[in-house]
Amino acid sequence: MPEDPESTFRPSRLGDDTPMITLAAQGDISAQSLMVEHVLACGNDGDVPVGIALGAAEAFARLAAESGLVAERRRLCGVLLIMSDNLWNGGFVERSRIYQGEALAIMSTLADEGDEYSATLLSQFAEHFSPQILKLADQIIRGGERPKPDEGCSGDNDPTKIH
C-alpha cells in the first residue's frame, strides 16, 4: 500500500536539485533566482518545512542580490519581508524587525537609485513603518550592516504600525 503523500517528505518538483544548486553556487544568477522561487514554492506547498524553505530562499536571494541587479535586490527585499512576517507570527519580534529594517533599507536604496517601483512602494508604505524601523533602515543604509537581534528596535509596541 502506498504511503500517504501528506505524511512524507516529498521529493523536489525539480527532481534532483543538485545541478541547479551547483549552478547557483557557481554564481549563476538565473539559477539562484530559480532556487529562490523553487524553495518558496516548496515551503508553501508543504514539500519542506516553511522555516527551512525560508532560510534557503534567503540564502539564494542574498547570493543573487550580490549581482546588483534591481530585480534581484527587489527579490531579496520580498524574501526579507516574508521572513519578517514569519518571524513576527512565531513570536520572534526583534528578529522580525531587523529583517523588516533591512528590507526597507534595500527598498530605500533602490528608490534613491531611480527605481520607480521601489519609490512607489516607499511612498505608499513608509508612513506605516514605526519610527524604530525607519531608524534601523537608516542605520543599515549608513553602516551597511544590520544589528544582531538583541540590538534591534526594542520598545516599539505600537499596534497601528507595521511590526
Name residue, grid cell 530559480: 34
Query: Average pLDDT, whole number, for the chain?
Result: 83
d(CA 151, CA 135): 13
Q: What is the pLDDT of residue 126?
A: 77
Q: Which residues pair with 129 in a beta bridge?
A: 162
Kindly give the confidence (pLDDT) of every residue in the chain, 163 residues in length, as a single tens digit, with 9 standing for 90 and above: 344 444 344 445 545 678 888 999 999 999 999 999 999 999 999 888 999 999 999 999 999 999 999 999 999 999 999 999 999 999 999 899 999 999 999 999 999 999 999 999 988 887 888 888 888 898 888 886 666 655 444 444 444 344 4
d(CA 46, CA 154): 33
Task: Tell me if 129 sits within 8 A of 104, measured CB to CB.
Answer: yes
Task: Tell me if 49 sits within 8 A of 43, measured CB to CB.
Answer: yes
Q: Which amino acid is at 140?
A: I
Q: What is the pLDDT of residue 148?
A: 66
Task: Tell me if 162 sits within 8 A of 130, measured CB to CB.
Answer: yes
> Which cell goes with 103?
528590507
Q: Using CA of residue 11, residue 15, residue 21, residue 24, what is the dihedral sign?
A: negative
- Taking the model in full, what pTM does it have? 0.79
Which sequence spans correspond to the domains of the chain? Answer: 15-67, 80-163
Q: What is the pLDDT of residue 86?
A: 95
Secondary structure letter of residue 152 according to DSSP: S
Sequence-distant (6+) residues with CB within 8 A of 30 are: 23
Q: What is the pLDDT of residue 20?
A: 87
d(CA 59, CA 48): 16
Specify burial of residue 108 (Cβ count, 10 A radius: 0-12, 13-18, 19+).
buried
Per-residue pLDDT of 61-77, as tens digits, reads 999 999 999 999 999 99
